[in-house]
Structure 1
């Protein structure tokens, strides 16, 4: 009987840990941009983008994208295009791999030439990044191709080779608010309300821990309204400051009847 009891406790603890881990997510948006080049077009056939979210290991997650040919020169002078976005576990992103198709080309004047990808790169263009994701925060990551330096002309043969010169940079686009609301019997909801009285985010605290997390909140000052049920009184926390890339913890709020 004791063995069954302890086994049940262990299963509940494991379930709780897994549930917590699933909640520790950040959002990553990946964009493509380019530096100028002396070509009419530089067309890259992007078929797949994979993100390595393991610290020092191999744990690749596929970014949902629309596969196809992207003309890098459409994204010069501050322009970019969203390749895709994905929810990832909080932690370090160490590498990105971009797998290309066969339809790569360069246009010089009115002439179009095939853009050859060296065999060593056919399994994917792999480049290092160094992004630390915090749970609840949305990040933008730009893949910045230097098309002028990435396209190499092989003598006078009319052959062009893709040797990518790429840099990446990131920006946190919002913050987050977390806290704990007790007791569970209050069945509370939490709302982030702006200075113009607009509700910008809401969350329902977990029934067991009372923890809540509001993601993707723009930088600014908010009041957090906690609405209780079952005769528990509502309460409001004023002047909650949110900063890009930071999770603001408002602590534990205990509702009273």
Structure 2
């Protein structure tokens, strides 16, 4: 064999060995890649100024659903104090970011809180006051959440801890203590979706909610998922099962001039974010105003001013006018006869419009000039 042919043979062998070695190395690296876990904290929010929780650690337990204190694995969560009311409108706090864990079945997740938990509530002078949050159960052992998820090599698993402040903060009666008894649910992002949207006007605080039937409308496992809007009017509903939903927007202030507003046919796909566009305008609570003009053979225009805009309606052949969709409130009604009628315009003051009611002004005769 010539020297040239020998060199070609050696070179080809080296290439084959190199390719084979790389292939085996890459295969081994893939097969031996440890699964990782990421955990986010979100909040349904509540009607307080601040709710600050002292997160000490996040623990998990593999292949063990018992209450035994052995077998817990620390995920080395960053110790921090988190204001839960900052976690609205799609904002979240990353507690654990792609931390390697063993394979097997993840049975429980445990959130451990420290001593530095506080709440800020406005007093009678509308000034925020800081109060301690008593958290005996969380300090001793941490809140345990059942998961039961199979963990396999080569995958990243994303979980969301959804903290329900309204249910977690307990204001005691005579003692004056304010206790924190954490209520939360754990969400696997890949097996649920998120609904995001915005509400107008942005300064009208509201609660967005859906009824999750979990794909079984005939059973009793329905769950109401809710989230408050933030200061920009944005909201995010986490952990919504795949399906089609009616999103309900409810103003927080029961005396609001806005009413419950719904958006239909919102599709949710597991592992995806559904954004409702454009922004949802809350519907005003409204009523109507009617009356009958007794002057014959004249067209009269009834009008009111709503937020600087004139809303008007003419009388029909029977002399009846109807002003519809007038926001609740007290108005001045102006009745203006057509030019040349010889009649004088008339104003009716302090006429109230109530929700879903029609204020009937009765029979009215306009005076002559």
Give the distance between the partners of 1:122 and 1:149, measured in 2 at CA: 20
Q: Give the greater-gyration-radius structure (CA).
A: 2
* Other-structure match for 1:163: 181
* Other-structure match for 1:103: 116
Q: How many residues are treated as equivalent by the alignment?
A: 156
Q: For structure 1, which runs of at least 5 residues remain unmatched after alignment? A: 1-18, 174-243, 246-257
Alignment of 1:170-185 (within 5 A): 170-172=188-190
- Does the 8 Å contact 1:137/1:172 carry over to 2? no
The RMSD of aligned alpha carbons is 2.6
Which has the larger displacement, 44-53 or 83-92? 83-92
Give the distance between the partners of 1:95 and 1:170, measured in 2 at CA: 13
1:25 partnered with 2:43: no
TM-score normalised by structure 1 residue count: 0.55
Q: Structure 1 runs of 4+ off > 3 angstroms? A: 55-58
Q: CA offsets per residue over residues 14-64 of structure 1, 9 Å max, x none? A: xxxxx99x9262111011110020011111111111111224465221112
Higher strand share: 1
Q: CA offsets per residue over residues 231-255 of structure 1, 9 Å max, x none? A: xxxxxxxxxxxxx99xxxxxxxxxx
Return the match for 1:138 from 132, 156, 163: 156
Q: For structure 2, which runs of at least 5 residues remain unmatched after alignment? A: 1-27, 123-127, 192-269, 272-369
* Other-structure match for 1:81: 93
- Does the 8 Å contact 1:153/1:161 carry over to 2? yes
- Does the 8 Å contact 1:52/1:93 carry over to 2? yes
* Other-structure match for 1:52: 61
Question: 1:156 Cα shift?
Answer: 5.1
- Does the 8 Å contact 1:26/1:134 carry over to 2? yes
TM-score normalised by structure 2 residue count: 0.39
Alignment of 1:1-257 (within 5 A): 23=32, 25-56=34-65, 58-85=70-97, 86-109=99-122, 110-119=128-137, 122-155=140-173, 157-172=175-190
- Does the 8 Å contact 2:45/2:87 carry over to 1? no
Give the distance between the partners of 1:84 and 1:120, measured in 2 at CA: 19
- Does the 8 Å contact 1:113/1:158 carry over to 2? no
